[in-house]
Structure 1
Amino acid sequence: MQVFRSPQVPRVMPGEFDALYDTDDALQPWYAQGVLHLLPTETSSCIHLAWQLRERDSHQAQDCLAIATRESERSGKALSLQEHWLARLTQADLLRLQARLPEASALLASLPEQDAPSLVLAADLQGVQAGIATGTGNFAERDQCLRRAAEWARQAGDQARETYYRAVLARLQVLRGQEPEPDIDARLQQASDGPAYVQAALQQLRATRAFRRSDYAQAIEAYVRCHQLALSSGQLHLAIIAAGNIGNAFTSLNDHDAALEWVQRGLDLALPTGWPSAVGSCQSQVGEALRHLGRLDLARQRLDEAEQTLRPLQASRYYAISLRYRAELALDQQQYTEALERLDALESRAESRDLAMDLRRSRALALMRLSRLDEAQQVAQSGLDDARHAQVGDLQVMAHMVLAQIARERHRQQPDAGQLVQAAGHLDQALAAASGIQHYAPPIELLDLQAQTNADLGRFEAAYQAAVRAGALRERMHGQDVTGRMLAMQLRYMTESERAESAHHRALAHAEAQRAEMAQQTSGTLARLGAIGQEITTKLDAPSVFAVLERHVHALLDARSIAVYLIDADGLTMSSVFDVEHGQHLPPHRIRLDAEESNAARALRERRELLVALAPDGSDPSQVPGTMRTLSALFAPLTVGDRVLGVMTIQSPLQNAYGEMERLVFRTLSAYTAIALDNARAYSDLGDAQKQLAAQEKLAALGALVAGVAHELNTPIGNSLLMAGTLQNKTDEIEAAMSANALRRSSLVRYLDDARQAAQLIHRGLQTAAGLVASFKQVAVDRTSEQRRVFDLALTVTDVVATMMGVVRKAGHRVEIDIPPGLEIDAYPGPLGQVLSNFINNALLHAFEDSSREGVMTIRARSTDSGWLALEFADDGQGIAPELLHRVFEPFFTTKLGRGGTGLGLSISYNIVEQLFGGRLRVQSSPGQGTCFILDLPRQAPLRPTEGEAPLHVGATAFAPAYASEGLPPPLPATGQ
């Protein structure tokens, strides 16, 4: 493999990188020269560098160790005892991060503590063993290892290491509700004087202590500082965990949008590493944030992924927290028996006191839902006592809320005003505890409970205030209409751009295919090339493109080594996304675009093909020891139109391996590969855009539904209020007349008549409002949950139409329903309601435009043979022109662009009917004769398929390794160019 070796590589002698985690500034000489990827062949330098890269870039660290071993074997010089120990510690820590704990333990077993070449290495040996014990759940051994590590560091005179290990131990003691060692506070005061990795550990301790006393504002501030310091000192694992804990703090403050943002940031950092503890922890935290936002299906997917990822760490705290989140999700999904089973499994393993207190609250809630009220009362009270003793404010809030719910449940089963008073007392105490937590927003559920309880006690003013406060919080959480509209516009632009770009790609692919077809007359090789081009350009994901390339390229060219590099997001480097040598896949690496001696970078900068021939005796300094000796190499930029995506290279150990014909074949393969990779990226981006837009359309439809129902409720409720006020005035007049002994029989008769009429009007208005609310509740629940159930088609359609009648009547039209009762269907009522709503809105916007007459929309259904039914929606409007009829279901097609039409409603309806219901949607229309949409639906919808994995993105972020994350040092150049 060809590589550039610079004579100005700075030598890293033993002792220069002796810190536990060094800063970016200490590594800056390597970054500044842009040659860190070259990996010095001096073994001690490689090993010390591997130690510093073990979390910054695990793959590069592994490469360093491999090169050190190979260089030692080549030179015949054995590693020194210090080099041997540091190499083993680095390898063990890499295995720990990969959750290969038995291998890591076996490796450390070969390093007796008493034989350590230095006290510092003895301390770090204990530190790595503590990390392994954390993953295996051996917490006593973990604490003992940390104590020994701190003691060895103290004896070595390494105050930074000693403080670091003591801070880690103190944080674990705080989690268990214990007081850390007395001198830790003094060390906290000196945090600004220590190295960055020590400051990060101390900030994590400070944040944990603040979190334990419910001071979430200070916890967030300390965790953010910890996150930044960890990134700057190469502690990527700590940075990921800190990001997740920031999300947890925002969750405790009931700021779930901010929580989701931070845990997603942590997941973005964790995914490229592949570390189970980091990835699984972030996946579970994303699931918990989604649960709080009400996205229960998505939350379950993330938590299932987390449980699978954390399976090698089942004894760890990470796995315990993931199981706890699953128990909370089971409670939200009303699966109380499952929740209790998960809580039982967790009870015996709740190593930290904070988990134990949380489990009591959840257990009490599950017991209450199962009507085991005495047990629930006992568990909830025990949790409240513990939360008070530990002074954990938010757990006190939740415990009081559970006790209030238990009291309300007792009142529901056996009415007792005393239970309501007790519930109100607990809710008042919960709000008092909440007010003592800085920046804490009380849960909406707590305010709703307070409003209901006060209303049941006749405290209507207090109930009203609590309801208003809950509404304000709910509006703040869900008021995203403007953002949704902006996202819809952006996604529409992206979709149209990708569609045009895809057409351009197809034209380019067609042109290349024609070129290959012309060459076919003179070469059978080029005939095969054309077939490869046709196959490769039909692939819409990167792995398939590379599989085709690897399968065919060896039959056309001598390509013992083949690699593809793509430009990174920063525009300064490119990363290998496909690199094979002698059939073995090599780890990913990076090259700076400004590397002057790199032929790959040169081919990209100059946007031209390069043919490189090297010295036959192997004396060229570009040869990497231990890799294939390269004598011939071809480099070509991957371009699509004016854009350059990266570089492709093939290399051979033969002299003059590439003549004119081989260069033509390689040039054509490079063009096909560029087109295929760009198509894959465009296809993936388009899919993502359509998913996001569909989700926004659902939210917008639900918002319109709510607005329509609110408008419809105004009239009956307003009339009822007016009549209630009139009745109050009449009552006051009668009372005054009676007090003055001036009451006449005729006045009393007239008053009774008026009162009777007012009561009838009030009763009729409230009955109308109650019916609308009942219909809306059913439709809204169905729309947001997409739950499958057996439902009566006539009742569901009536409910949907009732919620739309305010808009329909305002426009001067009407809806008629002709569906026989008892026509049942096993499907998804929510999406069906969305389809009908889209049809009604479409008719109001298009069918009755500029119409002064009353329009009629008719919904009819009938059962057909073989378990199907036909549902029709017809209007008597102006109809659709024949030239437009075949386009009505196309996304973004509308004749009202800029005047209220988005072109999405009928497209989404088509997808729901065809994909979700397994049915067919047709349209019939003639100008002036109205329009009829016909839905052929199976009486039993097919089972929804399991969603597969998202397609692999091709581009700047798809293949970015761990060091591409925000806040890490500049990227490390690659071992091969």
Structure 2
Amino acid sequence: MRERDSRHAAECLAIATRESERSGKALSPQARWLSLLTQADLMRLQAHLAEASALIAGLAPEAAPSPVLAADLHGVRAAIATGAGNFAERDECLRQAAQCAALAAEPARETFYRAVLARLQVLRGQAPEDDVGGEGPEGAHWPLYVQSALQQLRATRAFRQGDYAQAIEAYVRCHQLALASGQLHLAIIAAGNIGNAFTSLNDHDAALEWVQRALDLALPTGWPSAVGSCQSQVGEALRHLGRLDLAQQRLEEAEQTLRPLQASRYYAIALRYRAELAVDQQQYAEALERLDALQARAEAAQARDLAMDLRRSRALALMRLDRLDEAQQVAQSCLDDACQQQVGDQQVLAHLLLARIARKRHRQQPGEEHLALAARHLERALSAASAIQHYAPPIELLQLQARTNADLGRFELAYQAAVEASTLRQRMHGQDVTGRMLAMQLRHMTESERAESAHHRALAGAEARRAELAQQTSSTLARLGAIGQEITTKLDAPSVFAVLERHVHALLDARSFAVYLIDADGLTMSSVFDVEHGEHLPPHRIRLDAEESNAARALRERRELLVSLAPDGSDPSQVPGTMRTLSALFAPLTVGERVLGVMTIQSPQQNAYGEMERLVFRTLSAYTAIALDNARAYSDLGDAQKQLAAQEKLAALGALVAGVAHELNTPIGNSLLMAGTLLNKTDEIESSMAANALRRSSLVRYLDEARQAAQLIHRGLQTAAGLVASFKQVAVDRTSEQRRVFDLAQTVTDIVATMMGVVRKAGHRVEIDIPSGLEIDGYPGPLGQVLSNFINNALLHAFEGSSREGLMTVRARATDPGWLELEFADDGAGIPPELLHRVFEPFFTTKLGRGGTGLGLSISYNIVEQLFGGRLRVHSSPGRGTCFTLDLPRRAPQREQEGEAPLHRAAEGPATGQ
């Protein structure tokens, strides 16, 4: 099926692969090889040569499940090499394919590959390596695909020998056999070659008919090699008919089509035809430029036959430019190559060209030596022609010989040449008649086949249309399902509208497309998305009680409206300055009993929306209503989450203040006690001094106690001052979220210090293991909030109900360049495995109503991931504690500044027809 119907073949492969994956059973080796070879050949037909080659690059012939598959692997590689211009590799692959087929005892396959190789060698003017045989009726026992290859070989031989009538007969048979066996590419090539044969018979009308037939076969396939080759042949036929402008158009199309196959013979032939057209258009400089570029490619590809044709065309262009020395040099090289390769017809054409150059020299500088040289070349050309079986020399050759002998005074020889030319003309006329008879016969056969299958096609047509409608409906429903799944996963209105805009135009004529939502006042609705011809329109508002508005009417009546508007724009609902609308659909956006707004699509075409379009629009409206309702609910949830987050921050700040107050109470209380004691002692000393009863021992004891009291007061006030400084820094960071470079060890110490009152009161302790000098350019306040959340979480969950002293550890170390790892661990109860993956979810807590909000770890996760651009991980197991690991960049990413414009939604505006 890969050539009969490439799309169906690809679908079959996809089904086989899908069913294999679904069943869990791998394809058998043979099925896998068949699949890969078929896929590669499909890619090759579409000119995806690199992909095709890569797909089967891993297949080794010696590892093939059977010699037959090894033969076909070589065959596919040969076809790929043909498109890539690797002719030596192509020939070797065909030899290997024939050998593998012989090993498999598959004589049909072996004969097929040998026939293909022999035909390519004949085309290059070489003797075939193998005498394939079986090209006539005796080959009828072979399968059709083998018979078609043998007929192609027979046709190529006849063409090279100048027996164009036999070539046409063989190509016609090849064309029929190729169509019957599903070898569409070969059928196209054969039809094109029939046209080439008619060109050689100077029947250019028949030639154009056949190459056009080949093009009609090729166009539906989309294969660049087939389409481009036929386009170039049509152009060449038009050139011979003198339609140079049309020829140029077709040849330019061929050049563009064959661009993916620039190394192929197809592309080279198209460029050659283009150069010969330039000669006919007397654009000799352009012709030479094209021929020179193409000559280098042909020689690099070792396409000797094409290289000789190109050099001969180049010599002709040079001769027309009167650059006779260069023309003679190029023509002589053509002759030398033709003699070396023993290609008789090329020798004839080269001698003829040299004779023409010699005669032109004679016209410029009359001299018998030029005429004598021309006569010698003409005699050698006739001698070479006589050595070719069934070959008829060009009539121009005999005519030129007659004129040359007459100019030399050899009138008897001139008369003989003229008689031979006349006889040959009559014989060629007979060949023309034969060729036309063959063409008429094939036309009759073709018309008979068409008449025979017309009835079947008519019957199949109705069934195909029904199947197409069913397929279209199924495809539309599948697409609607995919759209619905995509649109209902979006949780913001702009994303919903983006999905709609991306898909709606493929399903409906929606050159104007708008969505209206009811405003908060309940009296109006505003367009939140409005696009006309791809342009976003400005916002537009409609009163719900507006009588002239179809959108308002659809909302009030809560039903779908199909409106046909006035063609002259006189309809009152037509908004001035917008697209003139002839068809419009309106549908309310409803969820249950609630109405959210209206959606409308509009078209400048009459009767644009049938029953199918209304069903599609109705479905899209339902999906849109659900998605917009979800988006609104998600937005409300986000607002609630922000409020709870703010409350969480305030609660954390309250806990922070309480902890600091508790910590300050001890040092300040001790200082007050020592200050009061010192004051009493001072009063006693003062009284003793006033009564002259002060003793030295009392003074010494007072001084010692005063020093101890002062030291205790100083220590207590230092502790209080440190706590106040830490609290001040943490509080400022938390309220401002200012960015600064900070030392991680110092910041963590300050944060933990503010929490130590709560920690000690609960009977636990915190250890810090962070090297000094580990700096971060970031946000110390939010980092403090993360650590506070970890500590509070440990106090609330990890050590609940435990009488032992719990330990919390904060460690940090530098990791990759520009990164560090901060770890908070406790030795508490741990987290059950079934809850571990949910700890960062918003509002998830096991202490709801008992001090837990479910936001602490969620906020921490957002701070680490979004604000710091880091990663937060958790590891835990019951009874073995919990560890939170923060991977933080040493430099946090830049944030949007406060007050920066938010992301804009799609532009909003009025819809045509309201």
TM range (shorter): 0.3 to 0.5
TM-score, length of structure 1 as denominator length: 0.42
Question: Which structure has the higher relative contact order (CA within 8 Å, separation 6+)?
Answer: 1
TM-score, length of structure 2 as denominator length: 0.45
CA radius of gyration, larger in: 2
